[in-house]
Structure 1
Amino acid sequence: MSVDGEAVRVTTEAERTDGPGWEVDPDDDWALAAVATVGRQLRLRREASGMRVGDFAVAVGYGADLVYKIESGRRTPRPEYLYMADEVFNAGGLIAAMKADVKKVRYPKKVRDLAQLEARAVELQLYDPLHIHGLLQTPECARALLPMRRPAYAVDQVEQFIAARVARKEIFERNPAPELSFVLEEWTLRRPLGGEELSCATSLSTCLRRGSCVTSSCK
């Protein structure tokens, strides 16, 4: 199931082989340092417990290659990976607590910078003539739109950007909430995506349930 940056999700068999996180941007020094620190702590915990990589991989239900990547700082662990490691090592919540450090860097830097601006905003006035704005997109809508990008994103990048868009919706939960205005072209609401059964019109439901959000459509 799809989730935001905090909730635990059900993983597929493919994800259990190489998927509870994303590759770290080699140009993102802050992310590299944070993920390397978390990976080092996980490796030290595993070695102190006397577990081999293969044994630990079996215990948490992920592939050994993925464990190597996380411990070497090349892969960002998701919260559920840290939860399972905490249980295996009986760490009393110390490993699970590292999710706060990982959360700060789990998305690309440009997405983090945008989210920080949105978090400080008192008012947002947004116009998008081509698509439903990212803040209004459901995961299903984003999953249909992002693969259309050229040059194409890798599958791993698509899932990372979807999770980032969902996490940015925290702006709707702020108290006091900012004033939000979205101006959309009507055809972006009517256009089918991924077959007739999916359109992005359903993406407006979250916004329309909140009185602080004003939407307009332009024909």
Structure 2
Amino acid sequence: MPGPKDLDPSSSPRALLGAELRHARERAGLSQEELGQRLFVSGSFIGQLEAGTRRMQPEYARLLDEVLGTGNFFQRHCRAAAKSKYPEHFAEAAEVETQAAAIREYAPLLVPGLLQTADYARAVCRAYQPTAPEDEIEKLVTARIERTRLLDDPTVPLLWAVIDEAALRRVTGGREVMAEALRHIVGLARRSRVIVQVLPFGAGAHASMEGSIKLMDFEDAPPLIYFESVGTGRLEDDPATVRHQRFTYELLTASALPPQKSLALIEGIAEDYLHEDHP
């Protein structure tokens, strides 16, 4: 019986690797749930690997080769499929984001990446890496702005962002940069491309004071949540965890200003930046 074929690096490595995983699993007579049990993951996780939604990590590649008897096929091709222009801790989340039907995000400290302008992104990247060469910063900025092209489609994905007032008030890159960044957000919202709410200081204590939230829903796969902290990040598909985070997000939207009042506040802060009235 023929084994998996070598992948064409000019094609989509993750998609091809996922297809080969499905063929190898079916040849072994295993369901997604059964294979997941042997790897101590869920059946839906195996489905996401096969669909190319999730990246195959080296530890899973090794186990798959052992369980499916594929030599070192998955280990050899895992590295090619994992190549990314994004920081390692965020690479998988950035790839998954492109396949999401809906993204709901709470940003407590900075403008969400999908809503950033190039100058704002440049200021953030430079703050993260103050001693990095300029060309490295520009690579990061280019990759971040390329992500925003997701919004070129007029309807998909749905992007619903709750932005803390603190993110709007923190002067990142200077007043002109902030004014441009906030006007960009307003423009997207006025064109009905995104839904934006501001969580004002006046809301007081709220359900997500300990960090950000990023929920992603898909047409044909279980939802995912992305957890991020300084230099680290992970995707989680545990249903109970996702349900809890979704409830937290719903509480945030209830505490935030309605969309129209949110846009009015953002526009007002942008004008303050331009006229140097920002406290």
When normalised by structure 1's length, the TM-score is 0.46
> Which of the two has higher C-alpha Rg?
2
When normalised by structure 2's length, the TM-score is 0.37
